[in-house]
């Protein structure tokens, strides 16, 4: 199979990308040099050797450590702009970008600085290329509920436009139901709700995300396939799963791309989308994920077209823009 041919002009929405997970090794060294930050690695090669992850936590440790180079509004603007330009080149016409405000406020960087930088990136690259983007603030589920409540307070007080609230970080041991009050308040404020569930955690966490947090999409959701009643619920209610193939391989959720359950997922009738998760860490952007699938599977019957349409339908875009893209 040719894994390098272009993907054509199919318009995709990217619905599962952590903006801090687009921080490339070269950028880490550039920012560290500019700010006189001493990194615990001598060069890019030494850093690259650490990208051999054994599970979600082994990735998260490096992901949070590398964020120390992100400090100013300009840093967040540059990060967002580089991602949006790269995503546009991959065929992305709209991105709903996750950000982890608690990972920055703990280092003394206010929510308003992070959001101001990302909004400047969205405006600048939007004017340049026509790509659109919005922001989903994620709750770090391995931090106390009170920290999440205060993050939400400050995000709402900041006045910056926010599309939704999400839930991420270390999953097992931190069930969605812990954050019922935070999600209730976010939804009452008009935010959309999504949550990571069923990546390393059990199908019961997916049920909780739906029934306790009231989420409209589930991020990953791989383990939903273990529970036939849950599969039926997701399909019947058209709850999308935002799947991330290269992430699943690199975090050892699946042994290889050949085991990615694309066919099983599509056969259930669940609305599934393909996404890049943390592209600087997992081997690539949306186009790289799609090419990996095309290299592993016979994507006949216009599966790529279906995945593009699913990504539009699963987005939080207004109906008129969805219609224009479908
Ligand atoms: C994440 Cl792959 C993944 N899972 C959970 N939380 C995350 N934060 C950034 N990437
Ligand atoms: Zn994720």
169 lines ligand 1 (CB under 6 A): yes
Residue pLDDT, tens place only, 173-211: 999 999 999 999 999 999 999 999 999 999 999 999 999
Nearest in space to 136 (alpha carbons), one of 19, 247, 220, 280: 19
ipTM above 0.90, yes or no: yes
Mean pLDDT of 278-286: 98
CB 222 within 8 A of CB 255: no
* Residue 53: strand, helix, or coil: coil
pLDDT of res. 9? 80
> What architecture is the 12-314 domain classified under in CATH?
Alpha-Beta Barrel (3.20)
When pLDDT is cut at 50, 70 and 90, the band that residue 271 belongs to is very high
Q: In the chain, where are the structural domains located?
A: 12-314
Atom 6 in ligand 1: residue holding the nearest Cα: 169
CB 106 within 8 A of CB 66: no
What tokens appear for 229 in the block?
């009643």
Q: List all residues 6 or more positions away from 64 whose beta carbon is below 8 Å from its beta carbon.
A: 103
Atom 3 in ligand 1: residue holding the nearest Cα: 169
Q: List all residues 6 or more positions away from 52 whose beta carbon is below 8 Å from its beta carbon.
A: none
pLDDT of res. 107? 97
Cα–Cα distance for residue pair 267/210, rounded to 1 Å:
21
Residue pLDDT, tens place only, 17-40: 999 999 999 999 999 999 999 999
When pLDDT is cut at 50, 70 and 90, the band that residue 302 belongs to is very high
Residues in the chain: 326
199 lines ligand 1 (CB under 6 A): yes
Angle between helices 303-314 and 286-296 (to 10 degrees): 140
Residue pLDDT, tens place only, 112-159: 999 999 999 999 999 999 999 999 999 999 999 999 999 999 999 999
245 lines ligand 1 (CB under 6 A): no
CB atoms within 5 A of ion ligand 2 belong to 277
Lowest mean pLDDT among 44-48, 279-283, 297-301: 297-301
CB 273 within 8 A of CB 305: no
What tokens appear for 129 in the block?
């290329």
pLDDT of res. 4? 43
DSSP codes joined into one string, 111-128:
HHHHHHHHHHHHHHHHHH
* Residue 269: strand, helix, or coil: coil
């Amino acid at each position: 199979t040719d894994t390098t041919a272009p993907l054509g002009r199919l318009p995709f929405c990217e619905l599962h990308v952590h903006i801090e997970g687009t921080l490339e090794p070269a950028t880490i060294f550039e920012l560290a040099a500019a700010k006189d930050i001493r990194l615990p690695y001598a060069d890019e090669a030494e850093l690259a050797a650490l990208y051999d992850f054994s599970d979600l936590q082994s990735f998260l440790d490096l992901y949070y450590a590398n964020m120390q180079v992100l400090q100013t509004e300009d840093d967040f603007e540059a990060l967002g702009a580089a991602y949006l330009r790269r995503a546009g080149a991959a065929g992305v016409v709209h991105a709903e970008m996750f950000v982890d405000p608690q990972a920055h406020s703990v280092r003394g960087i206010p929510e308003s600085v992070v959001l101001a930088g990302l909004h400047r990136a969205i405006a600048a690259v939007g004017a340049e290329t026509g790509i659109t983007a919005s922001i989903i603030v994620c709750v770090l589920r391995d931090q106390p509920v009170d920290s999440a409540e205060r993050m939400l307070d400050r995000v709402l007080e900041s006045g910056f436009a926010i599309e939704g609230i999400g839930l991420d970080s270390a999953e097992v041991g931190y069930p969605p139901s812990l954050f019922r009050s935070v999600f209730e308040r976010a939804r009452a404020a008009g935010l959309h709700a999504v949550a990571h569930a069923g990546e390393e955690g059990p199908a019961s966490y997916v049920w909780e995300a739906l029934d306790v947090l009231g989420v409209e999409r589930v991020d990953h959701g791989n383990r939903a396939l273990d529970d036939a009643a849950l599969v039926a619920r997701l399909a019947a209610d058209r709850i999308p799963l935002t799947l991330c193939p290269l992430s699943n391989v690199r975090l050892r959720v699946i042994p290889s791309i050949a085991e990615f359950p694309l066919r099983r997922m599509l056969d259930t009738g669940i609305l599934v989308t393909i996404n890049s998760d943390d592209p600087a860490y997992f081997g690539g952007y949306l186009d790289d994920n799609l090419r990996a699938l095309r290299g592993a599977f016979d994507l006949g019957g216009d599966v790529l077209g279906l995945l593009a349409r699913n990504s539009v339908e699963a987005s939080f875009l207004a109906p008129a823009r969805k219609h224009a893209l479908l």
